[in-house]
Structures are given as structure tokens and as C-alpha cells.
Amino acid sequence: MSVAVLGSGAFGTALAISLAGKQPVTLWSRNPVHAQAMTEARENTARLPGYPLPEAILVTSDLEQATQADTLLLAVPMQKLRAILAEHSALFDGHVLVACCKGIELTTGLGPVQVMNETVPSAKAALLTGPSFAQDIAAGLPTALTLACSDPNLCTKLQEQLTTANLRLYRTTDTAGAELGGALKNVMAIACGAVIGAGMGDSARAALMTRGYAEMQRMALACGAKPETLAGLSGFGDLTLTCSSELSRNYRLGLSIGRGEGFDPSVTVEGAATARAVDSKARDMNLDMPITHTVVGLLDHSLTIAQATAQLLARPLKEE
């Protein structure tokens, strides 16, 4: 099975570098100028500087050429996933599509596997998610991720194809759990960044992470996910990483909110749109998601940090 990575941002480039250690990989960029620059420099200086592209990577901006591969990894932001699939749906027919994005679609409340199933019903959909920074994968540091696919045989084949020397994949058929863990942990990372940025300390962060995890489970279980998926790499694992490292863009957005500073709007921060999508989904499902709701208030500037903190601390006392 041949493989192509569609989307040449930080994560797509890192995955291509890792996979190129065991097989030829096509890396697609929608921007011909960017593709040419990467081909010449043998580096993605725009999104992942400092990590050379191995010879086994072919960079192209020709989507027809890239979609010749059997397995297509979609490493584009969540809110762009539907557009790229819908615009070129004939090219994706019958392929194995592995989404590498984390989030919930703002307009529909759907996760990446659901969006792929809806947009290209003839394709077989999977999800690669879990704790990993693009820089760590590109540097060949040890990493473990979750590969989710509802078809157990395909999941096993993909696990073999996409596991590399330093990137170890665990498989699950629980796509809903993997989708929601990866999406919701980014919302909690924004909250944790805000707490640290505002100087509220590590104990407050631990409280938010734990109660945030309860919130993640509440929504995921209501959507039919398995608790063990949330306890795995795609849920607890990624929550831990993203809520505690300044390499995370979601966490850094939170830090800037907590410090009252601005933030570059061109940076991909999946948790911002996802917080709004989840807040609205929670309302529809009659689920209590106070941290998510508070993050939306911070993002919309309808709450100050002081108000957000007071609001969370004043909630009725309850059993854990």
C-alpha cells in the first residue's frame, strides 16, 4: 500500500518525515509556490523549519498525483477538512482516508471520521490522533499514538503500514472516543493555559485537567464512546501533553488570554472553534460542560479571567 500526506503544515510534514524512513511518501501542498520551495530547500521552512525532508519524500501540489496513493493521510485543520474532500470528492472515491486533525466541525458538531463518512461515503475512514508534537515526530523522538478505524481488519493493516521505528501506533475501533478525546483536550488546554497565564498556579491547573477530563468523559460516553478510549493516548494521554507544554498552540493561546496579551490569529488553534462547537452540542444534548462553556466566554471576551474563575468556583457543591 502506498501512502500520501495531504496538507504540508507542521504535522503533515512531520508524519511524512517519519513515514519516509520505511517507504516512499508523497507530500501534497495546495500551494504550488510552497511545494516548489520545499522541493528546492528539502525543508518546510514555513511550517517546520530545521527538519530536512528525506529523499523518499516527493513534494507535489498536484492533487491528482498525490491521490494515486492507496492510503491518504489528511493533515489539514479540522474546519477545512470538509472543503478539501467535497471540492475534490471524485479523487477520494474508494480510498483509505486517515484524518490527522483534532476537532469538532463548527457547522455540524461532527468529528473528522463522521465528516469523511458523510463527504466521501465510498472511502474507508480512519483517524490518527494522540499525544505528539510535530517537532518531536520529525526529530525521531519516541512517540505513541492511537489509530482508530471501525473496520478491525483495515485497522490492523493501517497500524502495520503507519507504525515507524519511533512512532508506535495502538489501534482501536472506537472512532467516536478517539475523535472526542483529541478534540476536547484542546479546549482544556486553552483553559489550563489561561490559569497558568493568570498566575493561578499548578494546583489550579491540576484541578482543571481533572475536572476537564470528567467533562470529556461526560460528552464522549453520551456519544457512545468507550471509557477506556478516553483513558488512552487519544484522551488522557493527549490531555496531559497539551495542558502542560508550551509547544502546544492551544495552551499558548490560553497563556495569552491569562496574561491579557494578543495572539497571532494565523496560528492553527483547533480548540477555539471546537470549544464553540462542543458548547453548542452540549446544550443540545443537555450535558453539563462548565469548563468548555467558560472557555467560550473567555474566547468571546464575554467573561474576564476573574469572572470565569469566580463562576467555576461558585458552582453548587457535588459528589466527585
Ligand X SMILES: O=C(CO)COP(=O)(O)O
Q: What's the CA gap between 93 and 251, in Å, rounded?
A: 37
* C-alpha cell recorded at residue 4: 500520501
Among 78, 162, 230, 291, binds ligand NAI (CB under 6 A): 78
Partner from ligand X, ligand NAI, none contacting 83, C-beta within 5 to 8 A by type = ligand NAI
> Which residues, numbered 250-279, are part of the site for ligand NAI (CB under 6 A)?
268, 270
For 240-277, b/e burial (b = at least 16 CB within 10 A) is: ebbbbeeebbbbbbbbbbbeeeeeeeeebbbbbbbbbb
Q: Which residue has the cell 498552540?
A: 249
Does 249 help bind ligand X (rule: CB under 6 A)? yes
Among 28, 133, 213, 236, binds ligand X (CB under 6 A): 133
Q: Which stretch binds ligand X (CB under 6 A): 17-25, 171-179, 234-242, 281-289?
A: 234-242
Q: Which stretch binds ligand NAI (CB under 6 A): 7-15, 156-164, 190-198, 283-291?
A: 7-15
Does 9 help bind ligand NAI (rule: CB under 6 A)? yes
Q: How far is CA 138 from CA 42, 172, 285, in A?
A: 14, 24, 40
Q: What's the CA gap between 14 and 236, in Å, rounded?
A: 23
Among 92, 133, 213, 236, binds ligand NAI (CB under 6 A): 133
Partner from ligand NAI, ligand X, none contacting 174, C-beta within 5 to 8 A by type = none
Non-local CB neighbours of 302 within 8 Å, separated by 6+ positions = none
Q: What's the CA gap between 35 and 28, in Å, rounded?
A: 7
Partner from ligand NAI, ligand X, none contacting 92, C-beta within 5 to 8 A by type = none
Nearer to ligand NAI, 134 or 295 (CB): 134
* CB count in 10 Å sphere of residue 221: 16
Q: What's the CA gap between 58 and 4, in Å, rounded?
A: 9
Partner from ligand NAI, ligand X, none contacting 238, C-beta within 5 to 8 A by type = ligand X
Residue 185 bears catalytic tag: yes
Does 47 help bind ligand X (rule: CB under 6 A)? no
Q: What's the CA gap between 207 and 188, in Å, rounded?
A: 11
Partner from ligand X, ligand NAI, none contacting 242, C-beta within 5 to 8 A by type = ligand X
Nearer to ligand NAI, 46 or 287 (CB): 46
Does 238 help bind ligand X (rule: CB under 6 A)? yes
The catalytic position among 80, 124, 185, 318 is: 185
Partner from ligand NAI, ligand X, none contacting 76, C-beta within 5 to 8 A by type = ligand NAI
Site of interaction with ligand NAI (CB under 6 A): 7-12, 30, 47, 75-78, 80, 83-84, 100-103, 132-134, 268, 270
Site of interaction with ligand X (CB under 6 A): 102, 131-133, 186, 189, 238, 241-242, 248-250, 270
The residues carrying an active-site annotation are: 185
Query: Binding-site residues for NADPH, please?
Result: 11, 30, 102, 134, 249, 270
Query: Binding-site residues for substrate, please?
Result: 102, 249-250
